[in-house]
Amino acid sequence: MATKLHNLSEYDAAAMPDKNRVAKQRYAIAVADWNAEITYALLQGAVDALKENGVQEKNITVKHVPGTFELTFAAKVLQNKREFAAIIVLGCVIQGDTPHFDYVCQGVTLGITQLNAKTYDGGLLNEYPAPVIFGVLTTNTLQQSKDRAGGALGNKGVECAIAAIKMANLF
C-alpha cells in the first residue's frame, strides 16, 4: 500500500511476472477527463510501466470517461468484453467545500469493490474475469494530487500498472 513515506513508482522488477507471458496479455485503462492535468499524468505513468514490463503498446486499450464517478461503468463494460487480463481505473477527486467529494469517492470505491468481488469467488472465475485496479487519487489539495501524479511521491499510475500485471498473473 502506498503512503507519503513510500514512492509510488518504486517496485522490485525482479519480482514481476515473466515478460514473455505478459507480452501476450491485453490491458485496459479507463481514465477520467476531470482533473486532466493529474489523470493524464497518471495515465502516462501507467502506460509507461506496462510497456516497461513487457506489455505491447498494441495490447493497451485506453478509454476516456467524463469524471471519476463514471469509472465503475467503464470498468464493467471493459470486463464484459472478456478480452483483458486486467483493467486499471484512473481518476482524481480533490476535496472541496461540499459533500460532493464524499459521494464521488464512496461511490467509485464501492463500485470497483463490487466489480472485483464478482470477479473471483471460491476458486472459480465468475461473470467478470478481469480484476479492476483502483487508481483514484482522493486528496485534500491539488498539490497532494500533483505529488502523486509524477511529483515528489512518484506516480500512482505506475503503482497501478504493476498491480495490474501482478493480479493478472496471480493464478
**For residue range 38-54, what is the model confidence (pLDDT) as tens digits?**
999 999 999 999 999 99
- 9 contacts 159 by C-beta, under 8 angstroms: yes
Higher pLDDT, 60 or 127: 60
C-alpha cell at 156: 500512482
How deeply is 14 buried, as exposed, middle or buried, from its count of CB atoms within 10 A (0-12, 13-18, 19+)?
A: exposed
pLDDT band at 1 (very low <50, low <70, confident <90, very high): very low
Average confidence (pLDDT) over 142-151: 97
| Closest CA relative to residue 29, chosen from 10, 48, 13 | 48
Higher pLDDT, 119 or 66: 66
Residue 36 within any structural domain of the chain:
yes
Q: Which residue has the cell 464512496?
A: 106
Residue 59 within any structural domain of the chain:
yes
Does the pLDDT of residue 126 top 60, yes or no?
A: no
Please give the tally of structural domains in the chain.
1
Which residues are catalytically annotated?
100
Residue 5 within any structural domain of the chain:
no
pLDDT band at 125 (very low <50, low <70, confident <90, very high): low
Q: What per-residue confidence (pLDDT) applies to 124?
A: 52
Q: What per-residue confidence (pLDDT) applies to 34?
A: 97
Residue 6 within any structural domain of the chain:
no
The CATH number given to whatever domain includes residue 111 is 3.40.50.960
Residue 10 within any structural domain of the chain:
no
Domain limits for position 125? 19-168
DSSP reduced 3-state for 41: helix
- 135 contacts 90 by C-beta, under 8 angstroms: yes
